[in-house]
Structure 1
Amino acid sequence: MPSRLTLLLLTLLFLPACSTPRAGTPHPRRGDEIMIAGQLFHTNGARVKLWFDQGGYDAYRIERRFAKWPEANWEATQKSGKLPQPERFGLRFAKSLSEDQLAVARAGPWPLDLLRDKVDQFIIHYDAAGTSRSCFRTLHDERGLSIHFMIDLDGTIYQTLDVQERAWHATTSNDRSVGVELANIGAYPFARDDANNIIMPATLARWYTQDRTGWHITLPSWVGDGGLATRNFVARPARDQPITGTIQGEQLAQFDLTDAQYTALIKLTATLHSVLPKVTLTYPRDQHKKLITTKLPDDQLATTTGLLAHWHIQTNKIDPGPAFNWDRVIRGAHRELHRYPPAP
């Protein structure tokens, strides 16, 4: 009879073989992963659809996603004159990488250390399309642009490209930034009545209605069902009134994001900062610690890291608008990482 020691040694010998998955065994995913430089990283429970998932949005594809199939390919698109080139993204820092770095970047996923050294901004947009499906149609099919992430009204995160790619979304910051489009119809100039109440801008009036609970989105007929991953989702702004503020010197009104969107964005922000530490948990403030609401001077932009608005990059942009709650995102991201949030 073999001794106990012999049995233990035999068990340890065969344990690795028993734990090796059999050929053809699917590799499990939790569904909260984003991809950075070919690696999957968890987001602590956010609902994520990658570009190769069913129901995802794929910015690597040349064909137009929503065109009729015979008209979707590049040859038909080129003849129609709708887009200038087939690709919607590029290579980060293509003009400044060393020859060795360029060779590595072209051969496969970027080394994570190289990406960590180069990427230091997270640009926040609203899509002005209202839903992520409409946003992707506009970017991919109509404008030939791209974005790394979209967050729909129900908080679903769609990743359309690996973070290593140079998405086309923020002009001079494309090389160094990650971009996200938040489903929100946008911010608009407004007037006031004799009682100083806001006269609702026409676009907001088409998208938002009130019931006994408060304001909520009613999708216009041309949007269809919106393509939301959550059936029968009722999209209510996190704050139950239009938010007003001045962006680029113009008074604007906007409804806030949904709570589900903030939850998803907080998890995404924390994950990006954890993997890419130069994307700091900060946003541009003036000497009084107030949010800067105009474009940053070029020399200041060159040294600014962390979360930025599209308006910080370009004078002709106002997104993510006056309703965007910067402190909620920053403080929430700190909590996700089990850190004490900074003082306001």
Structure 2
Amino acid sequence: MSTEPSPCAPTVDPLPYEDRLDARPLGQIDLVVIHCTELPDLAMARHYGERILHASGTGNSGHYYIDRDGSVHVYVRPDRIAHHVRGYNPRSVGIELVNTGRYPDWLARGSQKMEEPYTGAQIASLTRLLAELRRELPSLRYIAGHEDLDTAREPASDDPTITVPRKMDPGPLFPWDAVLRATPLERLVP
């Protein structure tokens, strides 16, 4: 018998500070934000999520993580407001897809390409999760990429005379067309 998590059944493994995150009614959620971890693996994403970064004793994390094998992990339940996107946290659920993105030099001028494709298993699990969220969250109407909502630029870490995008996820290799065909959610691009 395999001990691998089933791609169909999420593994609920809340972050240690989940109960310190603000509670919210599920009816408040109308937006899903798609992210990529920009880290090499799920273990490192968990490590980053556990870091305490705020005076409240909480950190930055999505709600759901989808590993390359399609397994789904719940780090923050939707009835809590996770810190995953500036300005949209109270109304949104964050879904993180494990992908290296620009790791390890996120803001370096020469690291602004995202070359790892998302796996078929990840996208299949994402579409199943979106369908489940539509059933559980009656107000859910929109979907966006992190890059759609956080368009800030920052000085490049290796050349402060130029700026680079602060966030680029889920990035150019994310299959928006396929995902949007599989869900009735409307893409929100401010």
Count of aligned pairs between the two proteins: 156
Once the two structures are TM-superposed, the CA of residue 145 in structure 1 deviates from its matched residue by 1.7
- The sequence identity of aligned pairs, in percent, is 30
- The letter of the residue matching 1:47 is A
Report the equivalent of 2:150. 314
Once the two structures are TM-superposed, the CA of residue 187 in structure 1 deviates from its matched residue by 4.6
Counterpart-to-counterpart distance in 2, 1:267 and 1:252: 28
Report the equivalent of 1:273. 134
> TM-score normalised to the size of structure 1?
0.41
> Which structure's CA Rg is the greater one?
1
**Aligned to 1:90, which of 9, 14, 22?**
22
Counterpart-to-counterpart distance in 2, 1:265 and 1:323: 15
Distance 1:267 1:140, change over 3 A: same
1:121 aligns with 2:37: no
Counterpart-to-counterpart distance in 2, 1:157 and 1:130: 17
Distance 1:258 1:140, change over 3 A: same
Counterpart-to-counterpart distance in 2, 1:310 and 1:261: 17
Q: SS of 1:252's equivalent?
A: coil
Is the 2:101–2:113 contact (alpha carbons within 8 Å) kept by the matching residues of 1?
Answer: no
Q: SS of 1:307's equivalent?
A: strand
Q: CA RMSD in A?
A: 2.7
- The letter of the residue matching 2:74 is Q
Is the 1:123–1:178 contact (alpha carbons within 8 Å) kept by the matching residues of 2?
Answer: yes
Q: SS of 2:73's equivalent?
A: strand
Report the equivalent of 2:9. 47
Counterparts of 1:152-301 in structure 2 under 5 Å? 152-187=67-102, 252-280=113-141
1:138 aligns with 2:138: no
Distance 1:261 1:172, change over 3 A: same
CA deviations over 1:290-317 (Å, ceiling 9, x no partner): xxxxxxxxxxxxxxxx110111221221
Counterpart-to-counterpart distance in 1, 2:114 and 2:93: 27
Once the two structures are TM-superposed, the CA of residue 157 in structure 1 deviates from its matched residue by 0.3
Counterpart-to-counterpart distance in 1, 2:64 and 2:171: 18
Give unpaired runs (5+ residues) of structure 1: 1-30, 33-44, 52-57, 63-85, 93-109, 189-201, 204-250, 281-305, 335-344
Distance 1:274 1:322, change over 3 A: same
Counterpart-to-counterpart distance in 1, 2:35 and 2:138: 21
Higher RCO, Cα 8 Å, sep 6+ = 2
Report the equivalent of 2:159. none
Q: SS of 1:158's equivalent?
A: strand
Q: SS of 2:173's equivalent?
A: coil
Once the two structures are TM-superposed, the CA of residue 172 in structure 1 deviates from its matched residue by 0.6
Counterpart-to-counterpart distance in 1, 2:40 and 2:79: 27
Is the 2:12–2:73 contact (alpha carbons within 8 Å) kept by the matching residues of 1?
Answer: yes
